[in-house]
Amino acid sequence: MGPTPRLNIIDPKLVKEILSNTELFQKPATIKLLLTGILAYDGEKWAKHRKLVNPAFQIEKLKLLVPAMYSSCCEMISNWEALVSTKGSRELDVWPYLSNLTANVISRTTFGSNYEEGKLIFQLLREQSDFAIQRLQSSFIPGWRKTKLGGLVLPGGVEIFVPIMEIHHDPDFWGEDSKDFKPQRFSEGISKASKVQGTFLPFGGGSRICIGQNFALVEAKTDLATILKRFSFQLSPSYVHAPSVAWVTVQPQHGAHLILQKLF
């Protein structure tokens, strides 16, 4: 990346070693210049902030946010219902609605009733941090001394990157159909979906695992349950499966085209 040598690591054993040794494998210094907050901190400062923020993400606290999540989802569904009303079914790219829903939920739950203002702040922050977060995501630097990683000896200053999306699409782990959109591969649980353990890392791993993991999962379940009460849906023939890393998470490059059917 720029003048910094970078090593991509996909071997699950080495990935585990990196994620579990946060003292040795720290966030790159350039990122610390670009971004402040728990995501960019290391060592004691990170531990202090993580401890401070952790209680807000406990499942009991998250349950209290479900009504706000439900309200935001109902607003989105009302828009869909208005669009579908005449024929009872139609094709819709739901991606812009779902991205907006996430912004809404975070604004509503962190900024309370003043969530329109929160939404604006959220969007500004999102634009500003775009570059910084992309660089930060799962990249680590083992300091300026020689470091051992598995059987490798890394010279000081090499940046290590864990390309989560590539790991999630590697045929050696997921089989020949690894690049297909096939949610049913998880039908018997995550451990049976992959041939190799430690290759499903949507929220990272180790002590720096995503603090918002439960928030995201509670929201996803609330949204899905709310949507399924009012609509059935299937993938539209115009959907093109082309995930790409944009901002923090993987996003569908050409949208998420569904055929929505209103349930009466």
Where on the chain is the footprint of ligand HEM (CB under 6 A)?
38-39, 50, 106, 136-138, 202-204, 208, 210-212, 215-216, 249
Residue 245: how many other CB atoms lie within 10 Å: 15
Say if residues 169 and 235 touch (Cβ distance below 8 Å): no
- Beta carbon nearer to ligand HEM, 83 or 248: 248
- Beta carbon nearer to ligand HEM, 143 or 202: 202
Q: b or e along 131-156 (b: 16 or more beta carbons within 10 Å of the residue's beta carbon)?
A: ebbebbbbbbbbbeeebebeeeebee
Sign of CA dihedral 157, 158, 162, 165: positive
Q: Give least dist CB 86 to ligand HEM, A.
A: 34
- Beta carbon nearer to ligand HEM, 70 or 203: 203
Q: Give least dist CB 164 to ligand HEM, A.
A: 6
Say if residues 160 and 140 touch (Cβ distance below 8 Å): yes
SS3 107: helix
Q: Give least dist CB 136 to ligand HEM, A.
A: 6
- Residue 147 pairs in a beta bridge with 154
- Beta carbon nearer to ligand HEM, 81 or 166: 166
Q: How far is CA 174 from CA 5, 182, 235, in A?
A: 29, 11, 22
- The amino acid that residue 94 corresponds to is V
Q: Give least dist CB 89 to ligand HEM, A.
A: 28
Q: Give least dist CB 105 to ligand HEM, A.
A: 8
Record the tokens describing residue 252, joined without a space: 């569908």
- Beta carbon nearer to ligand HEM, 215 or 231: 215
Q: Give least dist CB 87 to ligand HEM, A.
A: 32
- Beta carbon nearer to ligand HEM, 157 or 243: 243
Residue nearest ligand HEM (C-beta atom): 212
Sign of CA dihedral 12, 163, 41, 152: positive
